[in-house]
């Protein structure tokens, strides 16, 4: 009778590593096969072309610029700060001259590797709050997500940014004490790196400071916040200093205000005309009157709300949120592709089609459960079973999901921008399910507490 638990535990200890190995092998295989067989039509279009030029100009002219005069005319380009340097710096590892298919392949394979590593880190940080089987389930969802797979086929920031976000939470999950200043320093450093890739996350460091004060109190929370801010500005500060000395400004906010401007159109259409979908500003004769400046955008927003208050309230209160978490890319090629492709394993490969359809069925239940989890973790009756470390971790997950949703509801709510944080959504989706199980167990007096978890 006594040997049964030991046998079960031994079997479980063997199955968990095998399961993780199978998931990581699947994740890597799906990603590498996708980047090697997908044919993107004009891979260096729009944002991708700018990122490539930044990397080219950095390597050839030691200048951060998206100008093409260096590439086409071999002239010294003028510096700018339209984009942040994180992703272009990553590209400089591969871009040493003119664009070639080999260069692009090397970039995409590297992104596939980082994306696979993100699956592994997701499993590790999930063990902070879940049992290993549930952590494997979250890793599996992350591994087969067609959105997280396809972002590796583009020369865009999403893949690298997603890696840094997951790395941030893995670092947070490794805290061994209530206030670990070394860990908070690393958190600040990683947030700085992530902000150089996608500046939308830069203000999250402020929310993290408030969460630290709320969790640990004024003295310990203040120390943690100060160390984290120091780490953040150690990375992000040199970029601001470069802009100030080179351009006379701390940052170029044009992209931010363009996103505010583009997000003003309900349904992403001009006057509800379907042919304008996705690019309403191209059809709006007033669009050029709205400058990429805060005052100009707010004035236009005030005018629109005064003319059609109900329509714009609905757009901002819930329609943009639904669009942000949509399965379809809205402005994109296929369901989960950003730029048009001529060939993809998702068109004819049975494994890819099956995993895509499975995730499509699960999509809205996962979104609803994930957003429910972000709310209930702040309710005392639902979080009494967590340790202080676990509660900080899971509330940080919740806070980042809320932050990203709110930012993109205010600005440009393209589903593309939600792709990097899908591992966090899948993690939070399990929170309500775990608590439902606990409530059922308590009602039937099967177990008084949440399942024990394994520290990452």
pLDDT tens readout for residues 8-51: 556 667 888 999 999 999 999 999 999 999 999 999 998 999 99
Using an 8 Å Cβ cutoff, are 177 and 188 in contact? no
Say how far residue 34 (Cα) sits from the centre of its chain. 20
> How many other β-carbons are positioned within 10 Å of the β-carbon of residue 310?
8
What confidence score (pLDDT) does residue 446 get? 55
Task: Please name every residue paired with 57 in a beta bridge, in sequence order, or none if there are none.
Answer: none
| 379 vs 398: CA distance, rounded Å | 12
Cα angle for residues 97, 100, 101 (degrees, 5° grid): 150
Start-to-end CA span in the chain (Å): 32
Quote the tokens at residue 206: 């402020």
The CA-based angle 293-413-256, given to 5 degrees, is 25
Report how far residue 187's alpha carbon sits from residue 174's, in angstroms, rounded to the nearest whole number: 11
H, E, C per residue of 314-346: HHHHHHHHHHHCCCCCCCCCCCCCCCCEEECHH
d(CA 92, CA 171): 26
Domain ranges of the chain: 21-44+99-443
Nearest alpha carbon to residue 165 among 456, 388, 425, 386: 425
**Which residue carries 């004769």 as its tokens?**
285
**pLDDT at 226 (0 to 100):** 96
Asked whether 116 and 31 are in contact (CB, 8 A), the reply is yes
Count Cα atoms within 13 angstroms, Cβ side, for 389. 23
326-350 pLDDT per residue, tens: 999 887 667 888 988 999 999 999 9
- Mean per-residue pLDDT pooled into runs of 10, the chain (456 residues): 46 83 97 96 92 95 93 92 95 90 94 98 95 95 97 96 98 85 95 96 95 90 95 97 92 83 87 84 84 83 90 91 91 80 94 96 97 90 76 94 95 91 96 77 59 48
Give the CB-side neighbour count of residue 129, counting CA atoms within 13 A.
34
CA dist 447 → 438, 440, 443, 444, 450 (Å):
7, 9, 9, 8, 8
Specify whether the CB–CB gap between 129 and 430 falls below 8 A.
no
Q: Enumerate residues 6+ apart whose C-beta is below 8 A from 259.
A: 411, 412
Rounded Cα gap, residues 65 and 79, in angstroms: 5
- Give pLDDT tens digits for 97-151: 888 889 999 999 999 999 999 999 999 999 999 999 999 999 999 999 999 999 9
3-state secondary structure of 39: strand
- DSSP character for 269? -
Phi-psi region of 268 (alpha: psi -120 to 50; beta: other; left: phi over 0): left
Kindly report whether the global pTM for this prediction surpasses the value 0.75.
yes
Output the pLDDT for position 436. Answer: 76
64: left (phi over 0), alpha (psi -120 to 50) or beta: beta
Listed in sequence order, the residues at least 6 apart from 388 whose beta carbon sits closer than 8 Å to its beta carbon are 178, 215
Q: How many Å apart are CA 414 and CA 329, to the nearest integer?
A: 7
72's CB contacts (< 8 A; 6+ apart) are none
């Amino acid at each position: 009778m006594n040997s049964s638990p030991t046998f079960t535990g031994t079997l479980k200890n063997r199955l968990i590593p095998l399961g993780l190995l199978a998931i990581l092998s699947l994740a890597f295989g799906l990603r590498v096969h996708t980047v090697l067989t997908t044919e993107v039509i004009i891979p260096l279009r729009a944002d991708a072309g700018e990122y490539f030029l930044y990397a080219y100009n950095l390597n050839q002219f030691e200048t951060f610029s998206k100008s093409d005069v260096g590439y086409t005319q071999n002239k010294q380009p003028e510096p700018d700060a339209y984009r942040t340097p994180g992703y272009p710096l990553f590209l400089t590892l591969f871009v040493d001259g003119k664009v070639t298919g080999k260069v692009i392949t090397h970039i995409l394979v590297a992104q596939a590797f980082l994306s696979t590593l993100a699956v592994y880190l997701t499993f590790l940080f999930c063990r902070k709050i879940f049992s290993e089987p549930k952590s494997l389930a979250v890793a599996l969802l992350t591994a087969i997500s067609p959105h997280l797979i396809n972002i590796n086929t583009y020369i865009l920031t999403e893949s690298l940014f997603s890696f840094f976000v997951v790395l941030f939470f893995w670092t947070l999950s490794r805290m061994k004490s209530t206030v670990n200043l070394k860990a908070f320093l690393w958190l600040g450093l990683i947030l700085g790196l992530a902000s150089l890739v996608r500046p939308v996350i830069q203000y999250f460091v402020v929310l993290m400071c408030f969460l630290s004060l709320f969790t640990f109190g004024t003295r310990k929370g203040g120390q943690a916040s100060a160390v984290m801010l120091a780490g953040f500005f150690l990375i992000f500060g040199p970029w601001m200093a470069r802009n100030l000395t080179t351009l006379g400004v701390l940052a170029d906010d044009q992209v931010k205000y363009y996103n505010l401007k583009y997000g003003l159109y309900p349904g992403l259409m001009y006057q509800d005309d379907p042919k304008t979908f996705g690019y309403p500003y191209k059809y709006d004769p007033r669009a050029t009157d709205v400058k990429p400046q805060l005052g100009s955008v707010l004035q236009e927003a005030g005018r629109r709300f005064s003319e059609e208050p109900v329509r714009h309230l609905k757009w901002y209160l819930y329609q943009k949120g639904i669009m942000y978490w949509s399965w379809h890319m809205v402005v994109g090629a296929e369901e989960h592709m950003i730029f048009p492709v001529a060939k993809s394993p998702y068109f004819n490969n049975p494994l890819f089609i099956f995993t895509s359809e499975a995730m499509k069925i699960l999509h809205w239940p996962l979104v609803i459960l994930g957003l429910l989890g972000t709310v209930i973790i702040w309710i005392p009756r639902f979080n009494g079973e967590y340790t202080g470390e676990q509660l900080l971790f899971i509330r940080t997950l919740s806070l980042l999901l809320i932050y990203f949703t709110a930012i993109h509801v205010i600005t440009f709510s393209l589903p593309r921008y939600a792709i990097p944080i899908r591992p966090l959504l899948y993690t939070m989706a399990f929170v309500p399910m775990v608590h439902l199980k606990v409530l059922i167990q308590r009602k039937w007096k099967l177990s008084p507490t949440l399942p024990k978890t394994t520290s990452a």
